[in-house]
Amino acid sequence: MSETDKIFTGSIPALYDRYLGPLLFEPYAADIAGRLSNLTEGRLLETAAGTGIVTRALARALSDQVQIVATDLNQPMIDHAATQLSSSRVRWQQADALSLPFEDACFDGVVCQFGIMFFPDKIKAYREVLRVLKPGGRFVFNVWDRIEENEFAHLVTGAVKALFPQDPPMFLARTPYGHPNPEQIRDELQKAGFTGVKSETIVRRSRAGSPRDPAIGYCQGTPLRGEIEARGASCLREATDAATESIAAQFGVGAVDGKIQAHVIAACR
């Protein structure tokens, strides 16, 4: 993973939330929140909370007796998330998932939606989760399956790669879709000390009003933007146009509906 893969600044948080939120993350937010519905009181930690899409789902789904601490490495993401949800039982905090600023055994559950792939040392991150979990606490998270199983992301990557064949921007394949093996994840969790690891593959549909929406979301609302802009002043527009055309060629020029696929993982301390 490149260091630039973790940079969510400028207009990226707002575009990420507007375009990729409904397209990618909301279809899984209710699922992951439902898996924690048996948590009726106590404290829940969310790592890599991003713009708070899962945080909002958790706040709707869980008992008022559950206090939520939502964290992310990127302060701009947390700042944007805080504008989308104001609740006395949700606390927003900047935090590095590899070095959590919390005492041992202080959370009843930990959740992370599509964030694990960004952690440069995954076993270290898992050990931090284990450390802050109370005995019997649950860790629930999800990761994207292979990029080929996620139609819009695959098309965008192909379109951008065709523009820059000598040095293609590969953020999507490298990082968000770069850790798709449940068996590898199970091994990592067990090495970190977790037990009772279970995984499930979930297929959903990704819907948008036009091919332009996912093109903007991926090209302008993720760190792929920085890779594209580094190749020239006009490249962001060109890449967004190429991605739009690629999606339209397969799904049409109106509303689009593509497959998305992810693995949901649960483990216990």
The CATH number of the domain holding residue 41 is 3.40.50.150
**Separation between Cα atoms, residue 124 and residue 193, nearest integer Å:** 11
Predicted local confidence at residue 4, as pLDDT:
78
pLDDT in tens, 150-196: 999 999 999 999 999 999 999 999 999 999 999 999 999 999 999 99
Which of the four pLDDT bands, split at 50, 70 and 90, describes residue 3?
confident
Integer distance in angstroms from the first to the last C-alpha of the chain? 28
Expressed as residue numbers, the domain containing 188 is 3-268
* CA–CA distance, 259 with 244 (Å, rounded to integer): 17
Please give the C-alpha separations between residue 112 and each of 86, 190, 198, 245, 254, in angstroms, as whole numbers.
Answer: 20, 18, 15, 33, 33
Residue 27: how many CB atoms within 10 A of its CB? 17
The number of folded domains in the chain is 1
pLDDT per residue as tens digits for the range 47-101: 999 999 999 999 999 999 999 999 999 999 999 999 999 899 999 999 999 999 9
DSSP strand pairing (90-94 vs 66-72):
parallel
119-136: pLDDT as tens digits: 999 999 999 999 999 999
Element at 229 (helix H, strand E)? helix 224-229
